[in-house]
Structure 1
Amino acid sequence: MAAASCLLSEDQFLCSICLMVFTDPVTLPCGHNFCNKCITDHWDINVQCQCPMCKRLYTTRPELWVNTFISEMAAQFRQSVQQEASCSSSEHQAAKPGEVPCDVCTGTKLKALKSCLVCLASYCETHLEPHLTMAGLKRHQLIDPVEDLEGRVCTKHDKLLELFCKSDQMCVCMLCTYSDHKTHDVVPLTEECEGKKAELKETEAEIQQMIQKRRLKLQEIKRSVELSKLNADREIVEGVQVFTALKASVERSQAEFIKTIKEKQRATEIQAEGFIKELEEEISELMKRSTEVEQLSLSKDHLHLIQSFSSLNTAPTTKDWTEISIRSPLYQGTVRRALIQLEETLSKQIKKVFEAELKKIQQYVVDVTFEPYCKLNQSNDNCRCVLSKQGFTSGRFYFEYQVSRRSRWTLGVTTESNMMRRITLSPSNGFWTLSLKRVGGFFASGDPSVCLSLKSQPEKVGVFVDYKEGLIFFYDVDTGTHIYSFTGCSFTDKLYPFFSPCVNDGSFGFWLGISIREPRLILH
C-alpha cells in the first residue's frame, strides 16, 4: 500500500485532460504527457494544435509516440492496486444482491461506497482511497454508488454528460457544444437541476393538494357509508314496525274471522240443544203414555178400563215439529268481509308509508324555471309545452306541478334532443310522462300507453327522479299516494322537467303564468 501511495503522490502519472491514470500515454515535443485518446480528441475539436498545459502552438500536428516509461509505471500502479484489493477483499463484506459492487475488485466484488462521475467507476472503501488523497483525483465528482454509469457518458464523444441543452431538452457533454448543439441554449446540469427541483417542489405541492382532496373525499365516502348504514338501519326498523303491525292486523282479522265462525256454530249448537231437550222430554212423556195405554188395554177390570179410558185415550200436548229444523249457518261473505276490513287497514298503512316516503323524497326538491318550447305531436294533436332551463345528468331531484282546474295535461321529464322534432310520447323516444286526457282518463307514456285507474283527479303532482338508479316516481302530493313508476330506465342524456296543458286555443300566456309551481332549491 505504501508503494502504491508513493507512486500516486506524483501528479505526473495523471492525464491533465481526463484526470485519470494514463492510458497509452504520449509525450508532446514540449514535454507534457497526455493519454493518446485525450489529446487526439482535443485536437480534433480545435482548429489550432497546441498543448493544453503550456499553450505551445504547433503549426503541424506533431507525431505522437507512446511514453513507455510512464506507461510501465501506470501498469505497475494498477497491478499494485489490484494486489492490495485482492489481499483486503476477504476482510470486507461482499456486495449483496441489489447493492452496487466495486468495479476494481478482482475475485469477490466488495460493496461500493462511492461512484465517480469522471472515472465512470464505482469503488469500495479500499479502492476509493486514491480519490480521497490524491490532489488530481480529489477534483473528481463522487456520488452515492449507482449502476449504469455508462448512461452518464455521451455515446458520441465518450465524455461525461455535464451540460443540459434547453433547446433539445437533453443532456450533452462539453464536446457536443462544439458540434450538434453549437448554437443551442446550453446550461450546466447543476443550474438545470435547480430549475427542475423548483418544478418538483411545485409538483410535490400539487400532489399534496391532490392527496388532501382525496383524503377529504375518502372521509366523505366513509361518512356517506356511515350515513347509509344509519339510514338502512332506520329503514329496517321502520319497515319491521310496519310489517309487524300488518302481521298483527292479519292475526287479529284471522282471530275475529275464526271467532265469528265459532260464534255462529255455537249459536246453532245451543239452538239444537234446546230442541233436543224438548224432543227428549216429549219422547219420554209419550213413552210413558204408551206404557199406560198398553197396560190399560190388557186390564180385565172392566170398570177401571171404562173410567180411565177418557184420560188415556187423548194424546198428550206436544209441539208441532213439522216446520222446525236446524240449518247450517251461512258463512259465505265472512272471509270477504274480513278481507275488506283488512284491506282498509292495509290501505291506511300504505297511505302512511307513501306519506313518509313522499316526505323523504321532497328533500330533493329543486328550483326549476320554465320557458316556452316547441310544439309536440301527441295523439295527432298540436300541444304547446314548456321546458325547464335546468337540466340534470346525475343525482336525485324532485319537483311539483299544480294541475287543478285542468281537464287535460301532460307532465314529466324528457331529453332536450327529443324536443327538436314532432314525436310520440314514449320512453323509447325519451319521454317519461303522466297524462290526463279529456276522454279516456289517466295514462302513463309507454309502448303502448298504460291506462291508470285513479280514485280522484290529483290537484298537485310530484315527480321524483333518481338518475343513477333509473327511477321516476309520480305522486299525488295532497293525498300522499303513489300514482305510477318508471323503473329500470337507462339515462344517458340530460333530463329536463316538462309540462304541456295540451290545448291549442292561443291561451299560451295564461297557462304559462299560473299553472307552474316553482319549488325551493335544494340540489343533491
Structure 2
Amino acid sequence: MSTNSAAIRPKCISPPPCQGRYSSSDMSLGDNTSSMEEELTCPVCLELYADPLLLPCSHSICKKCIQDIVDNRTKTGKEGLDCPSCRKTCALDQEMVSKLPRNLALENVVFRFQEMQSQNLTLRRSLDLSVDTPLLNSPTSGDVLVIPEFCDMDLTEMCGLCEENSQNVAENFCEQCRVAYCRQCLQNFHPKRGPLVHHRIRKPAKGETIDKPAFCVDHETEVAAIFCDQCKSLVCHLCVCDGLGKHSHHKILSLDTAWRQTKETLSKTKEQLEMMVSTLSDQSLKMEEVSEDVENIHKQACQKIDIQYRRLVEDITACLKQHRSSLLNQLERSKVKVTRRIQQQLDDNRQESRKVENLIESCKKLLDEDHMKGLLGRADEIGPIVQGADDMSQLLETSKQQYTDLVTDKTAQVDMKQAVLQFRNTSHACLRIMIADDVKKCQSIIPVIRSTTSPGKDVLRVQNKCLITWGFNSTSFTAEALKQNSLWSVTIEKNSAHLGDIKNGYLFGVGISYDKLNFKDQVGLNSNSHGIICSRGNLLYCHNSKMEHLMPLDNLPLSVTIYTVMDQSEGVILAYTITNSSWGDTLHGKKIIIDQSLKTILYPVFTVSQRVKMQFPTYV
C-alpha cells in the first residue's frame, strides 16, 4: 500500500460494549419471524407462497403446485384433489383451476415478509461485528462513522475535480453532491457557506463515485442536490438563489427528508392500492358467486316454466281428447243405432223377397202344366199360394210404415252434423273450466279421518295434525266424504327417524277416491282413486296404476293442495297445486274426470311410507 493511502486511512474506534452479538429483542423478533414463515409456507412445496390460489375450503396453495397435482391426478384417471391442510376433497380440473381466485392478501403479506427479512439480514450484517472490532473515527465534525469492513480496503478514490493528468487522492466525499474531493478542491469548489453549509462531508469509501451524480435540468453543469418540494423535482443551488432561480422562495427539503417523505407517500399509496385490490378481489368473488347463483336460479326457473308449460298443454290436450272421445263415442252409438234399424229392415226385406219369390216359383210350376187334367189335378195347391200372397200383401202394408219412417227420419244425420258444432262449444267450455279460479269455488277444510290405530279397529280422529305409518309398510288413510266443493292442503316432511337419499323410499300420495281405501291400498293404484304420488324421486299423477310424470321431487318439505269441484255438468274437476319453500307455487294442474261424473260421493285419501309424515295446517 502506498504512503498516501496509508495517510488517509481513518482510525477505528471501538463500539460500546455489549453482552452478545444481538439483543434479546432481536431474538424474540427471530422467533416471531420463524413462526410467521411457517404460516406463509406452502404445504406442498414447503416454500414461501408464490401466486397463492384460494381453494373452496378457504386454504391456499401455490398455483404451480395445484396445476402439478391436477395434472398428475388427471393422468392417473383421478379427479379433483385433497386439500393438503384439511384433507377435504375439492372437485377441480385444469379449467376450474384457472378460475380459482388469487389470495391477494396472502400474496401481499408474503411480499412484505420478504422485504422485512431482507432488511433484517442487512441489519444483522451491519451489527454482526466482533466486540473488539473498532469503528472508524472521523477527524471532522461533519463526518460520519464508516462501516468497519472498509477499514482494510484500499481507499484509492481519486478527486473528481482535479485535472486528469494530476489527480489527487480524494480525502472527502459530499453525500449531497455525490462528488469526491481532495483537500484543495474541497476548499476551492465546496466551501462551507451559503447553500452548501448543510451538506454532509465524510471520508470516502471505495466505489462511492460509481453512483453518478444527477445534474440540474436548467443548469446542465450543476449537480442537482436539492429537492424542491413545491415542484417535486431535483434542482441545483443556482435554482434556489434569491431573485435568480425559478425555485427561489419554494419549500426546499433535504434529500434524506425528501426521500423519506417520498417513500412514506409511496408506501401509504401502495397500501391503499393493495387495499383497493383486496376490496376489488372480494367484490369480484362476491359478484362471481352472485353470477353463479343467478345462472343456477335462471336454469331452474326455465326448467320449472317448461314443466308448467308442458303440464298446461297436456292437461288441456287431455281434456279436449276426453271430450272428443266422448262425442265420437256418442256419434258411434247413434250411427250404430240407425244402421242396426236399417240392417234389420234390409234383413226383413230379404226374407220377404225370398217368400214372394217362392210363391212366384210355385205359380210358374202350376202354369207350366199343359194338360187341363194335370192343372186341375193340382188345384188344391193354388189355395196356399193365394193365402201366402194375401199374407205377404198384409205384411208389406205393415212394414211400409216402418220403411217410410226409416227413410224420412233424418234425426241421426242432423245430430251427427250438429256434433261438429257441439264439439267446438264443449271444447270452449272445457277451456273455460281449465282456466277458471278453483279457489273461489271451493271451501277450505281440514279432512276428518277415520284411521286405524291398529288394523281392524276404526277410531274417529278430528282435524288431524299429522299422519304417519305403522312399522315398515305404507299406510293409506281415508277421510270422511265431501259434502261440497272443497280444497285442503297437506305438507309432506321427512320423518326424522328415516333420513337418506330423496330418490329412495320416499313414497306418498294425496288425492280423491269414490270408495274408501283399505289401509294396504295406495292412492292412484286402483280404478276408484286419482291423486298425486311420489315414486323414485318423481312426482306423478296416477289413476288405476297409470302414471303421468309431473316433475322431479326437488326436496322436502313439500306442500300439496287439492281442489275438488263436483257441481260441474262436464264431470268432477280435480285440480292441484304443488308448492315448495324456495320457489312457492311450482306446478298447477287440473283434470276433468268424466268417466265418474254420475257418482256424487268423494273421499280425500292419503298414503304415507315410513320415511315421511304428513302435516295438516292447524287452522283454515
Taking structure 1 as the reference length, what is the TM-score of the superposition? 0.39
TM-score, normalisation: structure 2: 0.34
